[in-house]
Structure 1
Amino acid sequence: MMRAVGTIALCGAFLLGASSPAAATRAPKVQLKVVDAVKGGATKTVWLHCAPVGGTHPNAKAACRLLEQVNGQPNQLNVSPNASCTQQVQPHAVVVIGRWHGRVVHWAKVFGNGCQMRAATGAVLAI
């Protein structure tokens, strides 16, 4: 009987601990799917989470910081406006979709090459 009481007490402790606000995992306020498809090349897809920062993006912290500066609107990014890019033609079709603090984000653009894409979007599309 004592063993059963101990087991019930232990289970109750786990349940109470799991339901506490500190232990509960909260969903990020920003969840974006970022896609870069290179014509004749690979397609890369990552998840970017902000508030809290995470996901599969290789530099989520820098990408979130850039998007915060433009209130989550990728079309307003212009990270390196004076970049010197070659006229090489290797189109990058990019898409950023998801939610930014409750607002739907849906942005797509085709850049002439990777340099132009990085100059415009910086860490956001450095995937």
Structure 2
Amino acid sequence: MLPLLLAAALIGPVPDPPPYGAPPRPADNQITLSYQAQAGFAMAVKLTCDPPGGGHPRAVQACATLERVDADPSRIKRASTLCVLLYQPVTATMTGTWQGRQVSWTHRFGNTCDMRRATGDLFRF
């Protein structure tokens, strides 16, 4: 009995489990990324960070990008790649929670190449 009391004193109080049926606490870094073309097609993916995951095929790189710009895609340094000057508008959207705060961003690009050039790995899915 004494070893058990000693162990309990060293560990400290154990928090009560959440009530039965309580919704799970949302992760601090859950982002939904999507884009929709005026031509009609659309893509969407979930991204989680800490640890990187979700359905994003480049989750590690996308999380690193969000970390670098504090979840503000407009702060991403534009790549110097060339894109065909074909006007096929696409609207990119990011919503979710980043480090405990709500984030929301939307931007319209001339085409998907221009979107990827401006957002790096974030919208490469």
Question: Structure 1 length normalisation: TM-score?
Answer: 0.74
**Which of 73, 81, 84 is equivalent to 1:83?**
81
**Which of 117, 121, 124 is equivalent to 2:122?**
124
Question: Structure 2 length normalisation: TM-score?
Answer: 0.75
Identity %: 35
Structure 1 residue 119: deviation in Å?
Answer: 0.5
Q: Aligned runs of 1:22-101 on 2, under 5 Å?
A: 28-80=27-79, 82-101=80-99
The unaligned stretches of length 5 or more in structure 1 are 1-18, 20-24
Structure 1 residue 34: deviation in Å?
Answer: 0.4
Q: Deviations over 1:80-112 (max 9, x none)?
A: 0x2222210111111000111011110000000
Aligned pair count? Answer: 103
Q: Deviations over 1:35-94 (max 9, x none)?
A: 1101113111110101121111111111001111111111211240x2222210111111
- The CA RMSD measured in Å over matched residues stands at 1.7
Rate the CA distance shift 1:79–1:51 in 2: closer, same or farther, 3 A. farther
Per the alignment, residue 112 of structure 2 pairs with 114
Letter aligned with residue 87 of structure 1: L
Moved over 4 A (4+): none
